[in-house]
């Protein structure tokens, strides 16, 4: 896949609890990656032994070293090969005997990998550690689609009344009021968008809910739902790992500041239903690559956020999962400004 800006972004690859004693193979932007844990933390290498190309994920972790299953070459946390059993003791290990090392961290209950040389900052999600708030993780969901299509579906307000009718929307309350989209502190953010929801979170409480959406990176977005006259807040953070072309894993963090004494499973089951209602639609969309040329598909005022999202992807030069604007259409055109990127 293309080495665009996504190469320097962080991508969630699994739940932290899933990475125990054994190494694990994951994919990020078409790259085969091995992740493992030792006393120093979590680590990510290209899943390839420099000797004969075997997958390091087939091996094991011994005394903090990643040991290849093929010839038992050992690699330390920094990727340096520290032992080659077949090499006579009086001969030095070649300096080229190194694994390709990627950035890796444990954050928000997930393992994140960054392939680039200049990693972007991790996204911020203060609700995870805020007193009086509780977070659960939903997923990973497997989706045969590209990350921009998945994120755009998450940001789409006007589908709630039909794909999720009777739960997150009602066909008799389908009109979407005009709302603002701004670019603040490196992210897109909307004004409040009121939506009538018969069953907003699985508790069968109906009424109008105000959505505020934020796009934190090309593959991470969130919304917070509130109700006038109530202190209750419900937030979902959606983080997508583009494993390969038209193949993604989606993780969702659900945070609430109410019913903290209630079990998590009903909230998780409700979100599973919502996600799988979206799945067939997202996997059916053509073209599979998100068109950044706004003339390629029709748009309405209610699409203000997704229009701004496409313009932002274009400005960032995102090619993975998108259909960039052809060069001939750019000739003679002015360079897009930030104001144009958020004006719908």
Q: Are residues 97 and 137 in the same domain?
A: no
Query: 104 and 167: one domain?
Result: no
Same domain, 10 and 108: yes
Per the omega criterion (within 30 degrees of 0), is the bond before 204 cis?
no
Q: How far apart are CA 202 and CA 211, in angstroms?
A: 17
Say if 226 falls within a structural domain.
yes
Same domain, 142 and 100: no
| 108 plus 135 within the same structural domain | no
CATH number assigned to the domain comprising residue 102: 2.102.10.10
Query: Does residue 93 sit in the same domain as residue 136?
Result: no
- Give the pLDDT confidence score for residue 206 in this predicted structure: 83
- Does residue 257 lie in a domain region? yes
Residue 340 has which token pair?
């144009």
pTM: 0.93
Would you state the pLDDT for residue 204?
A: 75
Query: Is 308 within the bounds of a domain?
Result: no
Q: How many domains does the chain have?
A: 2
131 with 231, same domain? yes
| Per-residue tokens: 189 | 């953010």
From 85, 114, 143, the end of a domain falls on 114
261 in any annotated domain: yes
Task: Determine the pLDDT at residue 340.
Answer: 47
Question: What stretches in the chain show pLDDT beneath 70?
Answer: 331-344
Note whether 89 and 68 are same-domain residues. yes
Alpha-carbon gap, residue 287 to 266, rounded angstroms: 35
User: Is residue 69 within 8 Å of 58, Cβ to Cβ?
Assistant: yes
Within a domain: 299: no
| b/e code 196-214 from CB counts within 10 Å (16+ = b) | bbbebbeeeeeeebebbbb
Domain boundary (58, 84, 114) is at: 114
Residues 271-319: tens digit of each pLDDT: 999 999 999 999 999 999 999 999 999 999 999 999 999 999 999 999 9
Which of 146, 316, 156 shows the shortest CA–CA distance to 221? 156
Which pLDDT score is estimated for 335? 47
**Residue 90 located in a structural domain:** yes
Residues 86 and 13 in one domain: yes
Q: 237: domain CATH number? A: 3.90.380.10
Same domain, 154 and 61: no
Q: Where in the sequence is the domain holding 275, given as residue range(s)?
A: 126-290
Within this chain, do residues 252 and 153 fall inside the same structural domain, yes or no?
Answer: yes
Question: Is residue 165 a part of any domain in this protein?
Answer: yes
Asked if omega into 281 is within 30° of 0 (cis), the reply is: no
Residues 148 and 110 in one domain: no
**Domain final residue pick, 64, 90, 114:** 114
């Amino acid at each position: 896949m293309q080495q665009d800006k996504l190469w320097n972004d962080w991508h969630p690859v699994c739940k932290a609890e899933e990475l125990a004693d054994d190494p694990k193979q994951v994919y990020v932007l078409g790259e085969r990656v091995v992740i493992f844990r030792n006393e120093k933390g979590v680590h990510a290498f290209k899943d390839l032994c420099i000797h004969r190309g075997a997958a390091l994920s087939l091996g094991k972790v011994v005394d903090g070293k990643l040991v290849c299953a093929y010839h038992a070459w050992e690699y330390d946390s920094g990727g340096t090969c520290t032992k080659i059993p077949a090499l006579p003791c009086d001969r030095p290990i070649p300096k080229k005997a190194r694994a390709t090392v990627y950035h890796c961290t444990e954050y928000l209950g997930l393992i994140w990998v960054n392939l680039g040389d200049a990693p972007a900052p991790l996204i911020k999600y203060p609700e995870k550690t805020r007193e009086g708030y509780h977070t659960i993780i939903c997923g990973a969901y497997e989706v045969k689609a590209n990350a921009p299509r998945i994120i755009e579906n998450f940001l789409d307000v006007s589908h709630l009344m039909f794909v999720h009718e009777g739960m997150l929307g009602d066909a008799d309350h389908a009109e979407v009021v005009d709302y603002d989209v701004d670019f603040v502190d490196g992210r897109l953010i909307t004004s409040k968008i009121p939506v009538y929801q018969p069953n907003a979170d699985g508790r069968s409480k109906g009424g109008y809910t105000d959505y505020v959406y934020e796009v934190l990176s090309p593959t991470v977005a969130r919304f917070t739902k509130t109700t006038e006259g109530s202190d209750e807040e419900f937030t979902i953070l959606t983080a997508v790992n583009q494993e390969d072309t038209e193949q993604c894993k989606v993780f969702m963090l659900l945070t609430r500041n109410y019913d903290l004494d209630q079990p998590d499973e009903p909230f998780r089951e409700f979100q599973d239903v919502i996600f799988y209602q979206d799945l067939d639609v997202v996997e059916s969309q053509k073209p599979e690559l998100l068109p950044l040329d706004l003339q390629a598909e029709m748009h309405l005022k209610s699409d203000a956020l997704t229009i701004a999202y496409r313009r932002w992807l274009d400005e960032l030069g995102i090619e993975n999962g998108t259909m960039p604007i052809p060069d001939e259409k750019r000739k003679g055109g002015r360079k897009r400004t930030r104001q144009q990127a958020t004006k719908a």
